Amino acid sequence: MLNIDAIHLREINMPLAHPFETSFGLTTGRRILLIELESEGLTGWGECVAGEHPYFSDETIDTAWLMTETELGPRLLDADVEGGDSCPNIFRQVRGHRMAKGALENAVWDLEAQAERVSLAELLGGTRSTIPCGVSIGIQPSLPQLMDKIETELAAGYQRIKLKCKPGWDNHIFEAVRKRWPDITLSCDANSAYRMKDLDHITTWDQFKLLMIEQPLWYDDFYFHSMLQKRLDTAICLDESIRNRRDALAAIDMESCRIINIKVGRVGGFSEAIAVHKAAEERGIPVWCGGMLETGIGRSHNIALSSLANFSLPGDVSASSRYWAQDIIEPAVTVSPEGEIKVPTAVGRGFDVQRDRIEALTVRRQTLYAKARVTA
Ligand code: OSB
Ligand code: MG
């Protein structure tokens, strides 16, 4: 049993080392909700991946803060918490708000790993000692700048390059990249920027031999993706559409995708991420771990999750320095020249949270306390 004494919410503001542009806009800095759980002298950390705006998903840092403060936090403090896998049931009455739930649940797993004296990867059922890494490259101001970025990332060893794309930033960049690097593992991510009128256009991408095309159509769709997948040789990968295990089963059965991107925040925490992973594994669908421009806390959790067996494709889990001048963990996440991250074997997440740095970045805070417990 994990007796949770207090939940500390804080918002930190962190400027990105490089702006990141997707089909829904430009991000130059992040407002991030961090969760700190206090339990009998141990501290569990969680990171909420909701953005500042409801563009990737309907959640934002502000909705997550409100739900944590008014609904989820009080439920967690009142519950008997055996471990991270108790959380879905504790939060069951609250619909949606998966990123808010995920931040709390992952903090519980983070705590549980420490209490059990095992690594977080081991607690989650991970078996890999290293994870293969790719990068997600945002839309650039120009093609030469994109080519420079790709060159830098390949030189750093990354095993897969994913290009953010949108109408007007697609065929000509794929063509230029393929001309210069005919054999690299290449994929693209449209973040739902295309519609049915674009189907003929998207089918022309088969010539670029992409590993996958990520979420080309609506963020909440399976049916139209299945129509598109029938016309493509290239695998579709779903990101936004997959909210839970049932979505994964529906998408796999309908042949809406052949690959799944698992983001632990998007599915509401490690329990559901493990369930999606297992459902995909049983059906022969490979998965990989997506990223949401996380700080080191979320990044360390993504590394632990990526150690599960069916995370067989390179994920979007990359070095801290690609995002932050200074990360909030020590050591920072680094990638080997072979494009791999070592999965920590130390107790817990395997990276130390730098409280002084977090303190300096904090712009808002609140603490929820447990009611006094009656001990027999
Ligand atoms: O769709 O994978 C996405 C970043 C923000 C929102 C959505 C996405 C992304 C990325 C970045 O692709 C992945 C990363 O953190 O490196
Ligand atoms: Mg994506």
Ligand nearest to the CA of 162: 1
Neighbouring-strand partners of residue 362: 12
For ligand 1, mutation pick of 20, 297, 300 (most atoms within 8 Å of CB): 20
pLDDT of 374 strictly over 80: no
pLDDT digits (tens, 9 = 90+) for 81-134: 999 999 999 999 999 999 999 999 999 999 999 999 999 999 999 999 999 999
- Residue 73 main-chain phi, psi, to 5 deg: -60, -50
Measured in degrees and rounded to the nearest 5, phi and psi for residue 307 equal -80, -5
For residue 227, what pLDDT is reported? Answer: 98
* Res. 324 pLDDT band, cuts 50 70 90: very high
CB of 103 closer than 8 Å to CB of 48: yes
- Report CA(227)–ligand 1 centroid distance (Å): 25
> Which residues does a 6 A CB cutoff place in the pocket of ligand 1?
56, 136, 189, 191, 239, 290-293, 316, 318
**pLDDT tens profile 22-57:** 998 999 999 999 999 999 999 999 999 999 999 999
What average pLDDT does the segment 303-330 reach? Answer: 98
Mean pLDDT of the chain: 97
- For the annotated catalytic residues, the residue numbers are 164, 263
Q: b/e string for 46-56 if b means 16 or more Cβ within 10 A?
A: bbbbbbeeebb
Q: In ligand 1, which atom is closest to the CA atom of 214? A: 1
68, pLDDT greater than 70: yes
Q: Sign of the CA dihedral 321, 325, 328, 332?
A: positive
* 374 contacts: CB under 8 Å, gap ≥ 6: none
Residue 26 Cα to ligand 2 midpoint, Å, equals 15
308-318 pLDDT tens trace: 999 999 999 99
Q: Give the pLDDT of residue 236.
A: 98
Confidence (pTM): 0.97
Provide the pLDDT for residue 106: 98
The answer, yes or no, to whether residue 373 has pLDDT greater than 90, is no
DSSP β-ladder status, 134-137 and 42-48 = unpaired
Which ligand lies nearest to the CA atom of residue 55 in the structure?
A: 1
Looking at the CA of 153, which ligand is closest?
1
Mutate to test the pocket of ligand 1, among 316, 323, 327, 335 (most ligand atoms within 8 A of CB): 316
Start-to-end Cα distance in the chain? 15
* pLDDT band at 372; cut points 50, 70, 90: confident
| Ligand 1 centroid distance, CA of 293 (Å) | 6
pLDDT tens string 154-194 = 999 999 999 999 999 999 999 999 999 999 999 999 999 99
Q: Residue 322 gets which letter from DSSP?
A: G
The mean per-residue pLDDT over the stretch 264-280 comes to: 98
Q: Using the atom order of ligand 1, give the atom closest to the CA of residue 189.
A: 1
- Residue 327 CA to ligand 2 centre (angstroms): 23
For residue 164, the ligand 1 atom closest to its alpha carbon is 12
